[in-house]
Amino acid sequence: MKYKIMKKQAAAAIIIAAAVIMQGCSFAERQESQEASSEIETTMPSTAEKEEQTRESVESMESPPEEEEKGENKLRKLDGVKIIIGTDVHYLSQELTDYGQAFQHMVEYGDGRLVTYMDQITDAFLEEVIEQKPDALILTGDISSEGEKLSHEELAEKLRAVEEEGITVLVIPGNHDINNHKAAGYLEDNTYPAEYTLPQDFEAIYREFGYEDCMSRDESTLSYMYQLNQDIRVLMLDTCQYQSGYAQVGGAIMPDTYDWIEEQLEDAWDNEMIVLPFAHHNLLDQSEVYVQDCTIEHSSQLIDILQGWDISLFLSGHLHVQHMDETEGPGTIREIVTSSLTTPDCQYGILEFEDGDNFDYRTQKVDVSGWALKHGSSKMDLLQFEEFRTPFLRRVFQNEAYGVLQRFTDLTEEERRQMCAFYAELNDYYYQGRAQEIADTAINDPAYILWQEKSYPVVLTDYVGSIIDDADRDYNSMHVRDGEEFFLDKNGDILK
């Protein structure tokens, strides 16, 4: 197997050899110059001339004017591309719901997605994308709620408006999008089956968003390589898997796809291209508790390949939590997980990318209130979205916790209430990538002790503990220069 790093070593050897030859030439030229100068009569400078030369030399070494020093504590501006990342939109066609009892139950006892206002959040997001004019919008899977074909078709129509503004749109599927037999509509207090999406349907619906113009397609999956500009290629990896025609939650890469990935990375290296990989499922164990369903199976093989070709940044979704992690040891790969677009805080990622050693990433909340005001909405939930979204998400999390804790008969109702409220607040901060803001107070909260002592063994207890353990930074931004990560203060200055 040919690796980029091996080729880099060979190239380095050639450069060193060339440098030695050039040094030899330079030395010979200097010898000739010295011999020639010895034959020429020279006049030594006077003391006054020496002092003037010294003064000029010192002045040339002085620091630049004050106006140029203002940015000395700022990161170097990047000269690359701007990419907006939206993930886990979970779009549901409005034609598939009457917003009745069955729909409301799904919303209140779901996973925190704001399905009620999914259409408005999506429209507000896409308007912001158009206003920001990035080089590309990339959606990393779980584009639909449960793989309804109608939901895919409606979202594709919305994406066309973005491409019409000259913005490249690229998509890959997530585990909800294809062969999902849970595809459903909602009518009064019942659900009914909706037409689900097959792999060939997905490719046809989104053909102009990556598949039609890609430079290479994997024959086994919906993975592809896309030439974004003259320097950068985007590797869009389909990590979904199916058994007997049924979508599975966890992700994997098929053996034949690994061969295709290897070929693509070698071709990119031979053509001096930078590769930026995206997937739905996570490359690294971003969650201590939900590893099996979130991390790509046997991801160590993919890590080895990426490290071998000197790729140091990977972007994904699926987790619904804003998070980051990196591999240990040499050949560091940093992975950034962008949280779900339609789960409060309803944010997306903005990547300004030069190469794997130089990039900036940050999140931005969708301005739903501003969009609602602009479009004359009368819905107060949208006009006052900041006040609406957090209580909604915490209510969903409280419902989740209560469903687990009601089985523990030795808990009083007051203890359950305290534990549910604690879990809802902690998980809310965790989803936003800001759990470190409350970690110190959370660990001393009596409700945390109740979770540790009176709710074992359940997954949520381990989950609560993992949030506390993981709360050591804000996961909403990353700034890397020459492979080194920098942290900024509120003014954008580098923290020493």
* Residue 71 confidence (pLDDT): 61
> pLDDT (tens digit, 9 = 90+) per residue, 5-38?
444 444 444 443 444 333 433 333 333 344 344 3
> pLDDT (tens digit, 9 = 90+) per residue, 264-294?
999 999 999 999 999 999 999 998 888 888 9
> Is the backbone peptide bond immediately before 472 cis, with ω within 30 degrees of 0?
no
In 3D space, the residue among 174, 253, 262 whose CA is nearest the CA of residue 220 turns out to be 253
The beta-carbon contacts of 299-307 under 8 Å, at least 24 apart in sequence, are 301/253, 301/258, 302/253, 302/258, 302/261, 303/327, 303/333, 305/258, 305/261, 305/262, 305/265, 306/265, 306/277, 306/333, 307/5, 307/331, 307/333
Model confidence, pTM: 0.86
Q: Count how many Cα atoms sit within 13 Å of the Cα of residue 139 in the half-sphere of its side chain.
A: 31
In the predicted structure, residue 387 carries a pLDDT above the cut 70 = yes
> pLDDT (tens digit, 9 = 90+) per residue, 38-80?
343 334 444 444 445 444 443 444 444 443 335 678 899 999 9
DSSP state of 209: I
**334-337/313-316 β-pairing:** parallel
Angle in degrees, 0-180, between the axes of helices 385-405 and 459-470, rounded to the nearest 10: 130
Q: Which residue has the higher pLDDT, 164 or 495?
A: 164
For the residues 128-136, what does the mean pLDDT come to? 98
For the residues 298-302, what does the mean pLDDT come to? 95
DSSP state of 214: -
For the residues 190-216, what does the mean pLDDT come to? 97
In sequence order, what DSSP letters do the residues of 179-198 get, joined into one string? S-TT-EEEETTEEEE-PBPP
Question: Do residues 428 and 474 lie in contact, with contact meaning Cβ atoms separated by under 8 Å?
Answer: no
**Rounded Cα–Cα distance for residues 165 and 482 (Å):** 33
User: By three-state DSSP, how is residue 477 classified?
Assistant: strand
Lowest mean pLDDT among 20-34, 115-129, 161-175, 301-315: 20-34
For the residues 460-489, what does the mean pLDDT come to? 94
Q: Give the confidence band of 490 by pLDDT, cuts at 50, 70, 90.
A: confident
Question: Do residues 381 and 425 lie in contact, with contact meaning Cβ atoms separated by under 8 Å?
Answer: no
Question: Do residues 90 and 118 lie in contact, with contact meaning Cβ atoms separated by under 8 Å?
Answer: yes
Residue 410 token pair: 């030795």
> pLDDT (tens digit, 9 = 90+) per residue, 320-369?
999 999 998 889 999 999 999 999 999 999 999 999 999 999 999 999 99
Number of Cβ atoms within 10 Å of the Cβ of 229: 14
In 3D space, the residue among 196, 183, 170 whose CA is nearest the CA of residue 87 turns out to be 170
Residue 375 token pair: 């479009």
**246-247/190-193 β-pairing:** unpaired
Residue 133 token pair: 């004019």
Residues 6+ apart with CB under 8 A from 111: 320, 343, 396
**Rounded Cα–Cα distance for residues 123 and 450 (Å):** 42
DSSP state of 210: I
